[in-house]
Amino acid sequence: MAPHICSIVPPYLLRGIAENSVNDESHRQVALRSLHQRETYTAKRCDRFSALARPRAARAQHPVQQQGIVPEFLLKHIAESELVDAETRARAARDCEHIHSVTTTYKQSLASQSLDSEQQPEASTATASSVTPSAKPGFYRAVYDAKHKDDEEELPGDLVRVEGQPAHADAAVNEAFDNVGKVLDFYQQQFAWKSIDNRNMHVLSSVHFGQDYENAFWDPDRMQMVFGDGHAFLHKFTGCIDVIGHELTHAITEHTAPLEYEGQPGALNEHVSDVFGIMAKQMLEDETADKSDWLIGEGCLLPDVKGVALRSMKNPGTAYDDPRFGKDPQPDHMDGYKRGTTEDNGGVHMFSGIPNRAFYLAAVAFGGYSWEKAGQVWWKAMNSGRVPPRCTFIQFADVTTEVADELFGDEGAKIVRAAWTGVGVVRKH
């Protein structure tokens, strides 16, 4: 299986910039460097979703890394900062004390079991779980400056803004902080989902990653958002709420239905992130399904690029057509699906356009705001336990149709089934 880490800009777009002789050498080198940096992190997402997809017993033997608590130094900074409001300082001080309590209990437990650890290899894991709080009373947002370094070991970077502090002089810092908050508010308001894991996990972001890095991604090792500044063609990742919604949804998918990141399940993984990213954008702009442009990453293309966005959910394959990096390759129907594609983990970014258009068709047919009915169907489907890790398009179509029937009756089921039929996702007789 080819490795991959999710990033909002697909690899074929970066490769198009890097390999096109129309572009000057400096632009090609920047794109190539962004592509190589992306590939440095690619193994993590596949590994993570593969681990999450294992049976529960196997996951217990090889637990997937989780971010349990925010670093103590961050809480200490919040608790002592005069720029933070009193309520947030008090909460941070309380959480600092809790960290000491958890750490002390955990160390004592490990010490008491050290003599028979070989006979009981899973004891320490169970003990660690037993002292981890079931849920934190609130979560913190924090934004760091990566100072243009591209070494993961140096992430998150220098702390520049935390929960309770006023706006910073750096616009990218404020955009990341505010837009992360808006996406999390969207999940809370529309789906009663708290933070990333529904247990108030703290949310960290790093801006100014790499030299002219033309991408943004969720780092599954560091459990945080990472934003580059962009360069000649792509930029402003912190300013696009749908970009942030897309990446945070990859993290949320880990806690709902962890779809394997390869082929059709990988394309569905990308699709789900686009769905919730676009809904967050539509809520911010107060747009009904029929009024939305359904564009993902609309603000990421620089003005002289011949295109409107990174992807179009309404009309996949029409987002851009620029001689410097090619034409949007997404098909909008199964007629354009190519089995056996090896690039991009079996075309996870490319073929996500097919289910994307299905969601668009369903949302418009339901009417009103996309999150009122179509979004509720997709959300319940992802939390139903009926979406397998290696889910195919037709399996996902079946589950969403079943859920639509449960939520909105026969008419709802007909709408969703018609949407999937409209993109050629039908059962073969």
Residues noted as catalytic = 247, 349
CB-CB neighbours of 107 under 10 Å: 10
Q: Which of 180, 215, 164, 185 is nearest to 38 (CA)?
A: 215
Among all chains, which residue has been given the structure tokens 């919730």? 276
CA distances from 196 to 94, 108, 225, 281, 347 (A): 22, 30, 12, 18, 26
Q: Measured at the alpha carbon of residue 139, what is the angle toward residues 200 and 186, in degrees to the nearest 5?
A: 70
Element (H, E) at 159: strand 158-162
| Cα–Cα distance for residue pair 233/224, rounded to 1 Å | 25
Tokens of 138: 């609130």
| Cα–Cα distance for residue pair 309/107, rounded to 1 Å | 51
Side-chain half-sphere of 199: how many Cα atoms within 13 Å? Answer: 11
Angle between helices 374-382 and 171-191 (to 10 degrees): 90
* Residue type present at position 368: G
Q: Which of 3, 9, 2 is nearest to 213 (CA)?
A: 9
The DSSP symbol for 153 reads G
Question: Which string of b and e fits 318-343 if b means at least 16 CB within 10 Å?
Answer: bbbebebbbebbbbbbeebbeeeeee
How many residues make up the chain in this entry? Answer: 429
> Strands, DSSP E only, in 321-410?
321-322, 326-327
Tokens of 11: 């690899």
The DSSP symbol for 332 reads S
Q: Is the Cβ–Cβ distance between 426 and 394 less than 8 Å? A: yes
The DSSP symbol for 114 reads G
| Cα–Cα distance for residue pair 163/143, rounded to 1 Å | 9
The DSSP symbol for 234 reads B
